């Protein structure tokens, strides 16, 4: 039995995984939240959500800034605060996600007139005191240059903001019908209750990396020792306490007209105002009932403590030996673990698209990222949550026809390459999670990806399936009249579809569908059809010394050409390599990097690449010459693939350079977008010394950063 399989059986057979136990005695217990720093990845394009949330929570409270990146609300890099909002994603690409219905506080309006306050987001934004920022699980605090201090916590669908104003204030808090990327569509509404100050309303927005639109509802209440003075609505730069209802259009130039409501308070000895904001995709009624039931009495301490308790419980299964370990190493590790549970988000009860008793998870942002280590990590660490996620994915397919490759805000996200939910389902199936998952439906869902081309494969499934079945590769400039999507990425799609088919084959084996298994195993070898044996790779006129690379191929069998270094980290041509229609044949990465993406047929790949020594040299070249970019997910597995050439020590050595050189416990400490916790899971699993080859019952072992790592998995739901 190869060592990797031995380890897996440990995972399945016992409730306690102990990696590299020099001393088999249990690792000591301690408060693990002291080592969680939510600010890691909140600067330098990490786009991490650093605010207050529960595990997988829908309400995510933070200060929003006007940064240029796709920040998860707050970017810790200077900039200005534009408001305080309750919905966010973590590690977003595309455009900034959510950030709907922000509140904004004023200690006083100029001239003591409501029109003396500034309402539009672009004008009202304000600097904050950098040293005032505090972030802990379930808590975020900041002080604005105006002297207003704001701290916040969250329940599942409700945020609680505590605004502390300087003495002598007559505070005004506005609520703006906007979002982070100004995507609001027509006819947003707000009503302000004159006697209570309660604000309710809704607006329709567009998702940040997907198609369609979503409607979100809110319910905001205010509680303060200070008496309410007046309330009303604003449009553009003008406000009035005489009007309490507003329906506002999008303006003709595309930028949504500023509009919303406000409530103003009299001066009081204690100028603390609590704002409770419930959100819902169903109705304002549901937003209000969430708020009323989740944070009944505006008790900040109790809400905060409940969040701490939930995070403590979530982190309970994992401990590492702290012997000889710096706090910064522990912070790097546990913060990575924490980020795997910020996204996806549990929207059960909030899905208006179909009715079902199944759980509903959202903010799979995107599965192309999370299949590689985030979901495999959670499969060990929080299998109950993974079961719900998989049931939700299968239910989504049941009602919308297709498994997503990406999903956010009740909308379809864009596919980046393959149908990568297949890899996730296979991974979870192979690792033995069964409880409540309808695996027949799961198998039918992945098989549909492999067999049926959707009309719009930008959003789901795969394109070019006719070629895939008949030519056995995705040709460059494919002739595809059955479905539509960006006709690029023929190499990376070929490699990813081959792996997706392998994932399906393994499920078929498990379900005793032998004929299917053989069919998909055969198709999983299609990657070989794009390997051009005599292809060389030049860099600035010099041969890199390796022969044999993937190349694009036309449907008539003639080779095309793409420089193997194009779209690599050292390609300075400035070309766009994402979903643009000029992006080329590899997605967000080069042929150099994609040459290693045959995770299921490594021995054949190694033979193609010239044997174990040449293969090792190629991996060295990839890492040593900066071709790879560890800030994007295709790089993850290449760190560990030395194992397949019999050189596991080199995998350990690579891990030790990337962590902490590229992953360090600071706001700017991530090399790229966290992608919903993908980077967090890379750090967690690499430091544990247990990295998955995702979609297979294989873990690649490296030397852990700790003397011992202990995970108490829930063995009751694992089938041995
Ligand atoms: C903050 O806002 C001010 C005023 O609009 C602007 O000049 C400044 O560039 C902003 N800061 C950042 C870092 O964006
Ligand atoms: C504000 O007033 C309160 C009560 O009068 C007092 O305790 C507090 O010190 C004052 N704060 C400031 C910043 O002056
Ligand atoms: C917005 O409201 C206006 C006025 O009531 C109506 O004419 C229009 O059809 C509405 N637009 C949408 C998209 O609902
Ligand atoms: C809430 O209050 C209790 C009792 O005063 C205190 O022990 C606890 O630390 C507080 N919790 C938080 C999160 O502040
Ligand atoms: C597959 O077949 C084996 C051997 O006949 C049997 O033990 C197993 O239970 C079957 N699995 C399923 C899912 O039917
Ligand atoms: C190419 O090779 C020449 C001669 O060995 C060397 O001087 C030059 O630095 C190399 N260029 C690059 C880009 O590596
Ligand atoms: C195959 O198609 C490509 C692209 O249209 C073309 O350049 C090439 O000449 C064709 N090869 C043959 C053998 O017809
Ligand atoms: C393997 O590497 C050796 C030495 O660099 C080279 O001579 C040989 O051609 C390579 N083989 C392949 C298939 O690339
Ligand atoms: C590697 O590439 C990055 C750009 O992605 C650059 O910032 C960095 O300096 C490069 N490192 C080396 C050693 O060339």
**DSSP string of 700-717?**
EE---SSS-EEEE--GGG
Residues with CB under 6 A from ligand 6: 539-540, 542
**Location of structure tokens 């949550």:** 385
Is residue 77 within 6 Å of ligand 1 at its C-beta?
no
First vs last Cα of the chain: how many Å apart? Answer: 17
Query: Would you give the DSSP letter of residue 473?
Result: S
Cβ neighbours, 10 Å, residue 689: 20
Is residue 168 within 6 Å of ligand 2 at its C-beta?
no
pLDDT computed for residue 534 by the predictor: 98
Question: Domain-by-domain residue ranges, the chain?
Answer: 49-311, 319-716
Q: What's the pTM?
A: 0.95
Q: Where are the beta strands (DSSP E) in 398-551?
A: 407-408, 411-412, 531-539, 542-550
Cβ pair 459, 415 in contact under 8 A: yes
Query: What is d(CA 637, CA 711) in angstroms, rounded to the nearest whole number?
Result: 23
Which numbered ligand comes closest to the C-alpha of 139? 4
284: part of which helix (H) or strand (E)? Answer: helix 284-294
Which numbered ligand comes closest to the C-alpha of 507? 5
Query: What is d(CA 421, CA 402) in angstroms, rounded to the nearest whole number?
Result: 10
Rounded CA Rg of the chain: 26
Helix then strand then coil, in percent of the chain rounded to 5, is 30, 20, 45
Instruction: Give the three-state DSSP class for 142.
Output: strand
- Go through the chain and tell me how many residues it has: 720
Residue 187 alpha carbon, nearest atom of ligand 3: 1
Torsion, Cα 466 471 476 481, to 10 degrees, reads -20
- Most informative mutation of 540, 542, 545, 570 for ligand 6 (most atoms within 8 A of CB): 542
Q: How far is CA 356 from CA 202, 359, 392, 397, in A?
A: 24, 8, 10, 12
pLDDT computed for residue 575 by the predictor: 84
Which stretches in the chain have pLDDT values below 70?
1-26, 713-720
Closest CA to 491 of 453, 534, 454, 528: 528
CATH of domain 49-311: 2.70.98.10
Query: What is d(CA 30, CA 422) in angstroms, rounded to the nearest whole number?
Result: 38
How many Å lie between the centroid of ligand 1 and the Cα of residue 127? 8
Query: What is d(CA 663, CA 678) in angstroms, rounded to the nearest whole number?
Result: 12
pLDDT computed for residue 19 by the predictor: 56
b (16+ CB within 10 A) / e for 124-163: bbbebeeeebebbbbbbbbbbebebbbbbbbbbbbbbbbb
Closest CA to 498 of 521, 470, 476, 480: 521
pLDDT computed for residue 417 by the predictor: 95
Query: What is d(CA 275, CA 593) in angstroms, rounded to the nearest whole number?
Result: 49
Is residue 610 within 6 Å of ligand 8 at its C-beta?
yes
**DSSP string of 70-127?**
--SS--SSS-EEEEEES---SS--SS-----S-EEEES--GGG-GGGS--SHHHH-EE
Fold of 319-716: Glycosyl hydrolase family fold (1.20.1610)
How many Å lie between the centroid of ligand 5 and the Cα of residue 512? 6
pLDDT computed for residue 94 by the predictor: 85
712 beta partners: 16
- Fold match, 49-311 / 319-716: no
**Location of structure tokens 């795969």:** 462
Is residue 44 within 6 Å of ligand 9 at its C-beta?
no
How many Å lie between the centroid of ligand 4 and the Cα of residue 53? 18
Q: How far is CA 492 from CA 307, 425, 608, in A?
A: 42, 21, 17
pLDDT computed for residue 252 by the predictor: 75
Closest CA to 52 of 179, 178, 158: 158
The tokens describing 290, both together, are 């969430």
């Amino acid at each position: 039995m190869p060592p990797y399989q031995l380890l897996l059986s440990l995972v399945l057979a016992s409730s306690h995984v102990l990696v590299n136990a020099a001393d088999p005695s249990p690792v000591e217990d301690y408060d693990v939240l002291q080592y969680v720093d939510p600010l890691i990845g909140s600067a330098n394009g990490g786009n991490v959500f650093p605010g207050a949330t529960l595990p997988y929570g829908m309400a995510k409270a933070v200060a929003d800034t006007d940064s240029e990146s796709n920040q998860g609300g707050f970017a810790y890099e200077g900039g200005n605060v534009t408001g305080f909002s309750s919905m966010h994603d973590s590690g977003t690409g595309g455009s900034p996600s959510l950030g709907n219905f922000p509140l904004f506080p004023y200690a006083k309006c100029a001239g003591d007139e409501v029109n003396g306050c500034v309402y539009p987001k672009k004008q009202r934004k304000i600097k904050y005191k950098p040293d005032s920022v505090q972030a802990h699980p379930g808590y975020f605090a900041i002080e604005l240059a105006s002297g207003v201090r704001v701290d916040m916590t969250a329940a599942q669908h409700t945020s609680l903001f505590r605004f502390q104003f300087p003495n002598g204030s007559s505070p005004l808090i506005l609520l703006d019908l906007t979002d982070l990327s100004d995507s609001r569509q027509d006819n947003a509404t707000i009503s302000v209750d004159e006697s209570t100050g309660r604000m309710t309303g809704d607006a329709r927005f567009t998702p940040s990396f997907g198609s369609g639109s979503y409607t979100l509802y809110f319910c905001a209440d205010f509680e303060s020792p200070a008496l309410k003075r007046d309330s009303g609505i604003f449009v553009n730069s003008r406000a009035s306490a005489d009007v309490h209802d507003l329906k506002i259009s999008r303006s003709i130039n595309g930028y949504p007209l500023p509009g919303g409501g406000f409530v103003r308070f009299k001066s009081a000895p204690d100028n603390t105002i609590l704002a409770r904001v419930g959100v819902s995709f169903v109705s304002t009624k549901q937003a209000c009932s969430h708020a009323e039931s989740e944070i009944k009495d505006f008790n900040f301490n109790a809400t905060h403590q409940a969040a701490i308790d939930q995070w403590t419980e979530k982190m309970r299964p994992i401990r590492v030996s702290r012997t000889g370990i710096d706090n910064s190493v522990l912070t790097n590790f546990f913060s990575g673990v924490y980020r795997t549970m910020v996204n996806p988000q549990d929207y059960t009860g909030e899905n208006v698209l179909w009715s079902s008793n199944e759980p509903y998870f959202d903010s799979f942002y995107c599965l192309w990222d999370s299949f590689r280590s985030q979901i495999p990590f959670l499969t060990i660490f929080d299998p109950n949550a993974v079961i719900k996620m998989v049931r939700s994915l299968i239910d989504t397919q049941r009602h919308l026809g297709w498994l997503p490759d990406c999903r956010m805000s009740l909308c379809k996200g864009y596919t980046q390459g393959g149908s990568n939910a297949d890899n996730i389902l296979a991974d979870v199936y192979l690792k033995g999670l069964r409880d409540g998952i309808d695996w027949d439906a799961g198998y039918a869902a992945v098989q549909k990806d492999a067999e049926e081309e959707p009309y719009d494969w930008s959003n789901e499934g795969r394109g070019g399936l006719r070629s895939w079945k008949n030519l056995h590769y995705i040709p460059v400039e494919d002739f595809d009249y059955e479905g539509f999507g960006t006709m690029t990425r023929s190499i990376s799609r070929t490699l990813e579809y081959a792996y997706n088919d392998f994932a399906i084959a393994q499920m078929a084996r498990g379900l005793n569908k032998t004929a299917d298994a053989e069919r998909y195993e055969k198709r999983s070898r299609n990657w070989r059809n794009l390997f051009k044996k005599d292809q060389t790779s030049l860099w600035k006129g010099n041969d890199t010394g390796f022969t044999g690379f993937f190349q694009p191929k036309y449907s008539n069998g003639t080779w095309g050409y793409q420089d193997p270094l194009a779209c690599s980290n050292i390609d300075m041509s400035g070309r766009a390599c994402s979903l643009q229609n000029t992006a080329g044949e590899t997605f967000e990465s080069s042929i150099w990097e994609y040459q290693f993406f045959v995770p299921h047929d490594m021995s054949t790949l190694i033979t193609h690449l010239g044997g174990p020594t040449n293969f090792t040299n190629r991996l060295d070249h990839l890492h040593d010459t900066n071709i790879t970019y560890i800030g994007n997910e295709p790089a993850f597995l290449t760190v560990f693939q030395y194992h397949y050439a019999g050189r596991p020590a080199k995998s350990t050595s690579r891990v030790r350079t990337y962590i902490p050189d590229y992953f360090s416990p600071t706001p700017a400490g991530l090399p790229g977008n966290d992608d919903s916790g993908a980077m967090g899971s890379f750090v967690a699993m690499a430091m544990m010394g247990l990295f998955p080859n995702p979609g297979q019952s294989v873990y690649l072992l490296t030397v852990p950063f700790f003397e011992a790592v202990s995970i108490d998995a829930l063995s009751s739901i694992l089938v041995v």
